[in-house]
Amino acid sequence: MVVIKNGRVMDPKTGLDQVCDLRIEGKKIVEIAENLPTDGQEVLDATGLVVAPGLIDVHVHFREPGQTHKEDIHTGALAAAAGGFTRVVMMANTNPTISDIATLEEVLASAAKENLHIHTVATVTKNFDGQHLTDFEGLLKAGAVGFSDDGIPLQSTKVVREALEEAKRLGTFISLHEEDPKLNGILGLNENIAKEHFHVCGATGVAEYSMAARDAMIAHATGAHLHIQHLSKEESVKVVEFAQGLGAHVTAEVAPQHFSKTESLLLTKGSNAKMNPPLRLESDRLAVIEGLKSGVISVIATDHAPHHADEKNVPDITKAPSGMTGLETSLSLGLTYLVHAGHLSLMQLLEKMSYNPARLYDFDAGYIAVDGPADLTIFDPEADRLVSDHFASKAGNSPFVGETLKGKVAYTICDGQVIFQG
């Protein structure tokens, strides 16, 4: 048994916020009280630290199979643990894509070797062809937790409708990356800075919010659940708010980079600040923060997208791949740019990084209670942390290297076992 002593226990499900102790036995929390006895038991001293539910990231790319020079499930799991995450959902844009049961089972077998909870979605369409739905029912039975064509947006409204209808029939949902390729130029560069500084046509705002509006209305018409991934535009937030006002079952997530920085970061961090959708304007950054404050955006998810240094360090930024590592900086970015900036309370941040992601997928996670899971993140919300280029991830493509942020993870505990100690 383990006793966690004198931590500030914060549970976003019930609103519990008090200094007390937790006793863990096996994979469960068995007691929550003040001044628990510790005779003969392992003790973790959490004095001055926050004890929160294990963080949950519903949007990560671990690159296995087929792209393991960037990341693999093992190094992705190490990065998750270092960031305070005890549960993640992988995207399906691997090589081969997770479009069939055999590939899904291979990925899940690899994930089962790790000491945290790793799930995966499958693709909406076969090999991202945008035309033919995968076997939703068979893939769910084999262990997929949802469906997404993240990275290759669905252009066919007919396919979107069919996918939503099938998801509704099976009691699940689809998650979509909303960027219409026909309205975009060079991906990863916001249209303003692309034109003014790089002299190319970049990624437009209308490509995102027009597709989000289209799919939100199809979700409204079908009564199905649509989850919109990594919103970045002010208009996109308003689209989701409008759809929710109509009664549509539309949820949304935002990535930490989009509430932390703007397109100008490209001028100092180069290709490490290039991502899809791109960093936008200050008005967009503030709008997604307002979406978090109002609850229109209910989930923070990293879109952890590791790339090899050689791929990012090309002379022409327009040729570099989009994406950044995110698991190891996510909590600190939330603490720095949301909590310490006065936009969200610490409890609200934890809700959007643990309880709400768990509710989205109906995971038994994201809360602290007797008989609840012993999945915990223990951290110092006030500590200053200089982001170094030494990551647990196989990749280091983060534009936040060299920046001092708030927050340091002390322990990550999954199934009652310490899987990371800072």
Q: Is 90 helix (H, G, I), strand (E, B) or coil?
A: strand
- Is 149 a catalytic site residue? no
* Integer-rounded Cα radius of gyration of the chain: 21
CA dihedral 241, 165, 212, 318 (to 10 degrees): 150
Neighbours of 113 (CB within 10 A): 10
**E strand residue ranges, 353-416:** 376-386, 404-414
Question: For 187, phi and psi rounded to 5 degrees?
Answer: -70, 155
Task: Spot the catalytic one: 57, 150, 303, 375.
Answer: 303
Residue 66 backbone zone (phi > 0: left; psi -120 to 50: alpha; other: beta): left
Indicate if the alpha-carbon torsion angle 143, 111, 30, 300 is positive or negative.
negative
**Cα–Cα distance for residue pair 81/86, rounded to 1 Å:** 6
Neighbours of 170 (CB within 10 A): 14
Catalytic residues: 303
